[in-house]
Amino acid sequence: MNEPSANPLRRTSYLISTLAILLAAIAIASLLSGGFSLRVFGLRVSSHGVLRPALFALLCLGVAYHWMPVWQRGIVSTYAPRMLRRLAPWVAAAAASGVLALCWVYGTRAAGGSDSYGYVSQARLWLGGDLHVHQAFAAVVPWPNADWSFTPLGYRPAANHTIVPTYAPGLPLLMAMFMTVLGNCGAFIITPLAGAVLVLSTFALGVQVSGRATGALAALLTASSPTILLMTLWPMSDVPAAAFWTLSLVLNRRKRPYASAALSGIAAGLAILIRPNLAPLIVFPAVLLMWDPASRTRARMRRLVVFALACVPFVALVALVNHALYGSFFMSGYGDASSIYAWRNLRPNLARYPRWLWETQGAYVFVFLLALFLPPGPRPESRRLRWILVAYIAGVFGCYLFYVPFDDWWYLRFVIPAMPAMFVLSMDAIWHTGARFGPAVQTAVAVVFTTLSLTHAIAYAKLHSIVEIGEGEQKYADVGRYLAREAPAGTVVISGLHSGNIRLYAGLRTLRVDSLDGAWLDRAIDYLKSTGPSPYLVLEESEIRNFRERFAGQQAVALVDRPALAVHSRHVYVFSSDSRSAFDPPRTIPHTKGCE
C-alpha cells in the first residue's frame, strides 16, 4: 500500500494550494497598491484588479480540497472555520486601525462650506462660552435682510442682530473636548476615531448575532463601505451618530445588567445629541433591554429605568439648546419640521436610497433580508435579535423617507446608522446558508461573498477618488489664510461657499452673495467702500455663472470679467472691487497644511 505522501493527487493538491496562496498574495498586493506591474526572472507579472486573482485563488483552493485525502479534508473542515474564528478579533482590530490611519492621514484638516465650518466654528463658540455671534453693524446697513446677508453658511439670524449655529450641539461639543487637549487639530480626529469605533462595534454586534466569523467579515464590509469611508474623512456628524447608535445596541447585551443598561443609555443619548432627528431609534435598544426572557419582568423594568435615566440628560441638553437659540424646546436650527418633511418626498427617496445602495455596495448589500427566513438555530435569542435589527434598519430609513430629497449618492450618509446592522445580517445569512454544505464550504462561501463585496466597494471608492477629499477641502483653509495675510483689516468679503472659512481663518466679515438682494450689489459695494476698505469677492468657478445671473444689470458684475487678484488651483478666484488692485497674471494662492 502506498504512503499518503506518494499519492499523486495529494502532491497535486499541494501544488494547487501553493498556487492559490500566490494568487491570494497578488490579490492583496493589488488591493493595497491599486495595481502593479513588474518582471520576475524575465517574465512580466501584472495585476490591476482584486476580483480575478481572488476568485482564482478560491477556485484553486476548492480543487485542492477536492483532491485531498479524506482524512486531510476532515482536518481542513475542522480547522478552517476554527482558524477564521480565532483570527476574527485580529481582523476586526486591523480593519478598525486601517480606517483610523487612512482617514487621519487623508482626512480633512480644513473647515469650509456649510457642514464642516458649521461644526468646527460652533466648537470654538462652546469653548468661548457663548453660542451667539454678535453683529451690531448689521443694524445700520441700508439694504433689506441685512442680518441674513451677513450670515455665513451653517448659521441663521437670531434676536438683537446676532447669528447662531444651525447644527445640533453633539459633534461640536465632542470637538471642543478634544480641542482642549489637541488644539485645533482635535476637531478633526473625531470622525476617524468614530469610524474605528463603528468598525469594532460592528464586530461586536456580529458576535452577538451569530459569532466571531460573522462579526469579523461584517467589520470588513463596514471598513470598506464607500459611504462610510467618505464621511469618515469629513468632520461631520454621520459616522459619530452611527457609531453611538451601534454601541447602544451592543452595550445593552453585556453581562452586568445595570451597568450595561446605563452605558447603552449614555451611547443612545450621545447619538441623539449628535443627530436629534434620529431620536425615534431609541425604541430599539430599549426593546432589546426588555426582550430578555432570562430575566424577570421587574428586573427588566429596572434596567429600562436605568437606561432612560442615563439617556435623559442628553435629550434635555438638546431641548435647552434649542430653546436658547431658536426660542422653542422642539425647534431645531433647520426650522419647522413641516419645511423639511413632506409626503411628496416619499416617492423620490424610495427610488434613490435603494439605487444608491446598489451602486455603492453592489447587490450583495440586500442579502440582509434573508435573515428574516433563517431557522431559529441553537440560540433562540439570535432570531429575536435578527428581527429587532431588521426593524431597526427600517426605522433608520423611515427617519429619512419623508426628508428633503437630494441628488448625490453620498447623501446615503443619512442612513449610515443602518449599515452595520445590514452588513451583520448579510454575513449572518451567508454563514448559516453555507453551513448546510459543511464547514469548509461554509468558510469558502463567506470568504467569496466578502471578497465580492470588498472588491465592488473598493472599486467604487477609487472611481470617485474618495481618499482625495481631504486634499480638495484644504482649499478653504488656503483661501482663508491668504486673505488673512493680504486683505486689509476690516475688509468685507462677498462670497458664498467660502462665507464661513474666511471668517474662521481670516477673521473678516463676509457678505453672502445668495442672500444679498439682487438689486443691491452696486450700492452695497459703494456703501462698504464708504465705511472701510474696498470689499473683495471670493467665488468658485461654479458660482460665477449664478453670480452673473443673480446680479444681471448691476455694474459690479463686470468685476468677475477682469483678471482675478489671486487664484487657487481648485478653481477659487479672489477679485477686488478696487480696479487698481488687479494683477495680470493673478497671484497663486499657496497650498497650506495643518489644522491652525
pLDDT digit string (tens) for 164-211? 999 999 999 999 999 999 999 999 999 999 999 999 999 999 999 988
285-294, 307-316, 467-476, 518-527: the lowest-pLDDT one: 285-294
Q: Give how far Cα 434 sits from Cα of 207, 444, 445, 447, 448, Å.
A: 17, 8, 6, 11, 11
Residue 80 neighbours by CB distance under 10 Å: 19
Tens digits of residue pLDDT in 307-340: 999 999 999 999 999 999 998 888 888 877 777 8
Q: Give how far Cα 415 sits from Cα of 209, 357, 411, Å.
A: 21, 10, 8
Per the listing, cell 497663486 goes with 588
Pairing mode, if any, of strands 566-568 and 572-576? antiparallel
Q: What is the pTM of this model?
A: 0.88
Verify cis geometry, omega within 30 degrees of 0, for the bond prior to 585: yes
Please say whether the beta carbons of 173 and 395 come within 8 A: no
Residue 43: pLDDT over 70: no
**Mean of the per-residue pLDDT values for the chain?**
86
Burial readout 404-425 (b: 16 or more C-beta within 10 A, e: otherwise): ebbeebbbbbbbbbbbbbbbbb
Please say whether the beta carbons of 446 and 438 come within 8 A: no
Cα 131 from Cα 134, distance rounded (Å) = 10
